[in-house]
Amino acid sequence: MLPGALGFAPGAQARFICLLVALIAFGMRVYRLGDVALGGDEGFTYVLASRDYPGLLSEIIRLGEPQPAGSFLLEKAWLDLGGRSEFNLRMLNVSFGVVAVALTFALARKLTRSQTAVRRGIDNTPTPQVVHRLTLLCTNVLEFIRQGCGVVAVTSGYRSPILNRAIGGANGSQHTTGDAADINVPGMTIEDLFQWIKASGIKYDQLIQEFDQWVHVSYSDNQRRQALRATKEGNRTIYSPA
């Protein structure tokens, strides 16, 4: 029985589902985690982390290792704390992976939330195909923006076709397929956010600075990296290359 059926508040229900998703991800990830022998990058990390701290740093410098030194230092501290087993070596990555699953789930919830849908009683539940597209948007675009800029505030994400018509959205909007989101980052101007994404290596499809109010960013297999600026001239919206 779902938590809502037991009388949980909507916020508590969302937290329960997020916790459940994280626990399922954790269980799937740790199943038989220590049964496979170390090899490749894992074996290399294990050997380096077995040295003392000065030896570890000098070896990283000697090898010109491109991976950040902090990751090896963290791995060493983790092994020193929990023991030098294959299981423990992999548990650090598991922990980060589970946190990433929970954060992606929380972000995906924001991408389907709509005050207009709530007020008008419009069902904005995404289809499995839309959920897949939202996941690609999160993992390929929004997560990289979060890592580079900080907390991403989503002002508009997925819109069902009915909701899109209700708010006067454009026909064929990428919002209706789960490919786009309108965002801002607290503490950054809209223009600074727009320029940061434009200059990054993020594989966005379309990037629009809209009226100095929000940034529209989308992801698709095309990856056009089309950057535009939207302005108003009377009642018309003008899109120009940026």
pLDDT tens digits along 100-152 = 767 766 666 778 888 899 899 998 988 888 988 998 999 899 999 999 999 89
Topology annotation, domain 111-241: Muramoyl-pentapeptide Carboxypeptidase; domain 2 (3.30.1380)
DSSP strands (E only) in the chain: 153-156, 180-184, 206-210, 214-218, 226-233, 236-241
The SS3 call for residue 203 is coil
Q: With contact defined as beta carbons under 8 Å apart, do 154 and 111 qualify?
A: yes
Q: What is the model's pLDDT at position 125?
A: 86
∠ CA 49-53-54, nearest 5°, is 125
Structure tokens at 134: 């939202």
Instruction: List, in sequence order, every residue forming a beta bridge with 182; answer none if it has no partner.
Output: 156, 216
Integer Cα distance of 237 and 147 in angstroms: 32
Closest among 185, 172, 184 to 220, alpha carbons compared: 172
Give percent above pLDDT 70 in the chain.
Answer: 87
Structural domain spans, the chain: 3-101, 111-241
What one-character-per-residue DSSP string does 107-164 give? HHHHTT--HHHHHHT---PPPHHHHHHHHHHIIIIIHHHHHHHSPPEEEE----HHHH
- Is the pTM higher than 0.85? The answer reads no
Is 107 exposed, middle or buried, given 0-12, 13-18 or 19+ CB atoms closer than 10 A? buried
Could you tell me the two tokens for 109? 């919830």
Tokens encoding 95: 């922990």
Q: Which two tokens stand for residue 205?
A: 């499809």
pLDDT tens column, 27-80: 877 777 766 666 677 778 888 888 888 888 888 888 887 777 888 888 888 888
> What's the pLDDT band for 195 if we cut at 50, 70, 90?
very high
Q: How far apart are CA 157 and CA 159, in angstroms?
A: 6
